[in-house]
């Protein structure tokens, strides 16, 4: 129990974390008339400063529309009908639209977050930023609590349910006793060094490049802003990479025509992200529900992280709506199992795309020939292209 004198508030759903998962859940619940409070440890500016995902599946776009935050996305998002693979000196297009009649949308996670934050502010639902010492209590009982410190003072939030949307390093998953959860994990011996630059993208669609020296990706945020990545060893530091070194490395991994078309410029942001596959089972512990990166991580190669966070959150919002609007708690009981089925398919696809396109230190000649044969097969088989397309645009929610 909170000591006397500590301010207490209560809500139905306490959401820990104001990344895309927490903000989208808050918005879907608010639209459905379900009270919620978001508690975030960082400032709004810090949350907005993180450059991350760029590709939205159709299901994610639909979820954002349902949350009432898709106006700018529909205006400014770039609809892409396919991607290109670059290897052995040439580019090969995979046309999602022709293969399966579906597309993806290029719209940065920063912009998704900005739109969700604006909607949150307009709704008047409470958000607490810069909450320190956040801790979760009694989620195995009937009345959980979230405690935190704000401006030096302790607060207690009583709730029915806690949504742990606090990312991979958050407190929610860590609050569950080790014996109650099972972790599945794979670390890759490399990371991605990413650069954002105010330059026109090298191609109309994303180019995923496989090269003996390592993977590279040409992505974008708009027609004038590009996002590029190169595979680097996991021990590498961004500070060792001048802009010139980055551009030279990127160019060396692209086919000649793409390398020649590359427009370079000063980097606006440069950072290294490690690559990891991770799943925590189950995703529910009593009245604590994990969603997004708090429950699972995929390597970014399949562009699935943000999209998985959105599909968890839609499943959780629907289950909470069933509980509060119709008194039906069964959907909450199904939450973990439903999410995990989709999560594992995205894990598989992201692991496969990563294995297909990266250089693995220590790989022998046999492994390299098999990888090349798989790329060759992929671009020459409609069935294989279709399988990639189905997974890339997103399996059904």
In sign, the C-alpha dihedral spanning 315, 317, 318, 320 is positive
Tell me which residue has its CB nearest to ligand RFL: 19
Instruction: Verify binding: residue 389, ligand PHB, rule CB under 6 A.
Output: no
Contact of residue 227 among ligand PHB, ligand RFL, none (CB under 5-8 Å per partner type): ligand PHB
| Interacting span for ligand PHB (CB under 6 A) from 65-73, 85-93, 298-306, 327-335 | 298-306
**Cα–Cα distances in angstroms (integers) from residue 150 to residues 39, 132, 260, 303, 395, in the given order:** 10, 6, 53, 35, 41
Which of residues 238 and 372 has its CB atom nearest to ligand RFL in the complex? Answer: 238
Contact of residue 301 among ligand PHB, ligand RFL, none (CB under 5-8 Å per partner type): ligand PHB
Q: Is 304 a catalytic residue?
A: yes
| Interacting span for ligand PHB (CB under 6 A) from 47-55, 66-74, 147-155, 322-330 | 47-55
Contact of residue 20 among ligand RFL, ligand PHB, none (CB under 5-8 Å per partner type): ligand RFL
Which of residues 223 and 369 has its CB atom nearest to ligand PHB in the complex? Answer: 223
Q: Is 150 a catalytic residue?
A: no
For residue 235 the two structure tokens come to 């021990």
Q: Which one of residues 300, 306, 342, 356 is an interface residue with ligand PHB (CB under 6 A)?
A: 300
Given the residues 300, 324, 335, 358, the one annotated as active site:
300
Q: Which residues bind ligand RFL (CB under 6 A)?
A: 16-22, 39-42, 47, 52-55, 109, 131, 134, 165-167, 170-171, 192, 194, 273, 292-293, 300, 303-307, 309
Name the residue with tokens 């209560």. 10
Residue 192's DSSP bridge partners are 231, 273
Residue 152 falls in which region: left (phi positive, over 0), alpha (psi -120 to 50) or beta: left
Which of residues 192 and 285 has its CB atom nearest to ligand RFL in the complex? Answer: 192
Contact of residue 321 among ligand PHB, ligand RFL, none (CB under 5-8 Å per partner type): none
* Residues present in the chain in total: 397
Which of residues 54 and 144 has its CB atom nearest to ligand PHB in the complex? Answer: 54
Contact of residue 306 among ligand PHB, ligand RFL, none (CB under 5-8 Å per partner type): ligand RFL
Q: Which one of residues 199, 301, 311, 315 is an interface residue with ligand PHB (CB under 6 A)?
A: 301
φ and ψ at residue 78, rounded to 5 degrees: -100, 120
Given the residues 155, 211, 304, 397, the one annotated as active site:
304
Q: Is 229 a catalytic residue?
A: no
**Shortest distance, CB of residue 365 to ligand PHB, whole angstroms?**
28
Given the residues 144, 148, 392, 397, the one annotated as active site:
392
Cβ atoms of 135 and 146 closer than 8 Å:
yes
Contact of residue 47 among ligand PHB, ligand RFL, none (CB under 5-8 Å per partner type): ligand RFL
Largest CA distance in the chain: 70
In sign, the C-alpha dihedral spanning 296, 297, 300, 305 is positive
Given the residues 148, 188, 208, 229, the one annotated as active site:
208
**Cα–Cα distances in angstroms (integers) from residue 384 to residues 88, 90, 140, 307, 375, in the given order:** 19, 19, 45, 22, 10
Name the residue with tokens 């990891």. 276
For residue 391 the two structure tokens come to 């997974």
**Shortest distance, CB of residue 275 to ligand RFL, whole angstroms?**
8
Instruction: Verify binding: residue 55, ligand PHB, rule CB under 6 A.
Output: yes
| Interacting span for ligand PHB (CB under 6 A) from 23-31, 72-80, 88-96, 296-304 | 296-304
Which of residues 89 and 233 has its CB atom nearest to ligand RFL in the complex? Answer: 233
**Shortest distance, CB of residue 286 to ligand PHB, whole angstroms?**
35
d(CA 344, CA 8): 39
Q: Hey, which residues between 213 and 232 contact ligand PHB (CB under 6 A)?
A: 219, 227
Instruction: Verify binding: residue 338, ligand PHB, rule CB under 6 A.
Output: no
Active-site residue set: 80, 208, 300, 304, 392
Q: Which chain residues interact with ligand PHB by CB under 6 A?
A: 53-55, 206, 219, 227, 300-301, 303
């Amino acid at each position: 129990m909170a000591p006397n004198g500590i301010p207490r508030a209560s809500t139905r759903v306490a959401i820990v974390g104001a990344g895309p998962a927490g903000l989208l859940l808050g918005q879907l619940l608010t639209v459905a008339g379900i009270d919620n409070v978001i508690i975030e440890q960082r400032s709004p500016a810090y949350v907005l400063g993180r450059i991350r995902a760029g590709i939205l599946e159709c299901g994610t776009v639909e979820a954002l529309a349902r949350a009432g935050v898709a106006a700018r996305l529909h205006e400014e998002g770039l609809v892409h009908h396919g991607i290109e693979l670059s290897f052995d000196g040439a580019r090969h297009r995979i046309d999602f639209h022709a293969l399966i009649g579906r597309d993806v949308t290029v719209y940065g996670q920063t912009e998704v977050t900005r739109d969700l934050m604006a909607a949150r502010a307009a709704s008047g639902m409470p958000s607490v930023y810069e909450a320190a010492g956040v801790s979760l209590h009694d989620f195995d009982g009937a009345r959980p609590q979230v405690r935190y410190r704000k401006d030096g003072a302790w607060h207690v939030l009583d709730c029915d349910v806690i949504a742990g949307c606090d990312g991979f390093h958050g407190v929610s998953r860590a609050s569950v006793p080790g014996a109650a959860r099972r972790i599945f994990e794979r670390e890759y011996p490399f990371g991605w060094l990413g650069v954002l630059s105010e330059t026109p993208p090298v191609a109309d669609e994303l180019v995923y490049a496989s090269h003996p020296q390592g993977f590279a990706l040409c992505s974008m945020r708009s027609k004038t802003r590009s996002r590029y990545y190169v595979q680097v060893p996991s021990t590498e530091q961004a500070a060792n990479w001048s802009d010139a070194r980055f551009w030279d490395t990127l160019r060396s991994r692209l086919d000649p025509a793409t390398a020649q078309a590359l427009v370079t410029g000063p980097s606006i942001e440069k950072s290294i992200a490690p690559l990891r596959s991770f799943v925590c089972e189950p995703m529910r512990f009593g009245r604590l529900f994990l969603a997004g990166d708090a429950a699972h991580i995929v390597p970014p190669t399949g562009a699935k992280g943000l999209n998985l966070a959105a599909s968890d959150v839609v499943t959780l919002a629907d289950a909470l709506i069933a509980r509060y609007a119709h008194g039906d708690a069964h959907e909450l009981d199904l939450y973990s199992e439903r999410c995990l089925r989709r999560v594992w398919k995205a894990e598989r696809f992201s692991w496969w795309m990563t294995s297909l396109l990266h250089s693995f230190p220590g790989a022998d000649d046999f492994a390299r020939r098999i990888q090349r044969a798989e790329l060759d097969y992929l671009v020459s088989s409609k069935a294989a292209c279709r399988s990639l397309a189905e997974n890339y645009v997103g399996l059904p929610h």
